[in-house]
Amino acid sequence: MSLILIVEDNDKNMKLARDVLQAKGYDTAEAGTAEEGIRLARERAPDAILMDIQLPGMSGLEALQVLRNETATATIPVIAITASVMDQDRANIIAAGFDGYISKPISLKKFLETVRKAVEHET
């Protein structure tokens, strides 16, 4: 069973992602801050990470750079979850090194498809 780490500071968004993923048979780990997400990624080696961009303290973009710079976490697929849906925002997210993005509010079909592709290492 695949483990998905959800890094999200909004309780409602966290609950939605967790409930949808668990209903589809995924295990989940949860972090409310980028720093906690990095710690869990190191400890649990998830199959994929869903990373909110706007987090308290360290941003999702900064957290991605930390993960990519460490051997143990460098190859974990990281998907950005963001309310920023302008074309330039999307381009910046992909240019930063994310493996994909999901826009808020989430479309369940696209959300699950994006997670499946990340876990199966399809790009």
The string of pLDDT tens digits covering residues 12-67 is: 999 999 999 999 999 999 999 999 999 999 999 999 999 999 999 999 999 999 99
The per-residue pLDDT for 91 is: 81
Within a 10 A sphere around the Cβ of 52, how many other Cβ atoms?
26
Domains and CATH numbers, the chain: 3-97 (3.40.50.2300)
CB 123 within 8 A of CB 117: yes
pLDDT tens by residue, 60-104? 999 999 999 999 999 999 999 988 667 777 788 889 999 988 988
Is residue 10 predicted with pLDDT exceeding 70? yes
Q: What share of the chain is helix, strand, coil (3-state, %, to 5)?
A: 45, 20, 35
Whether the link from the prior residue into 46 is cis, omega within 30° of 0, is: no
Q: Within 13 Å and on the Cβ side, how many CA atoms surround 43? A: 10
What percent of the chain shows pLDDT beyond 90? 77
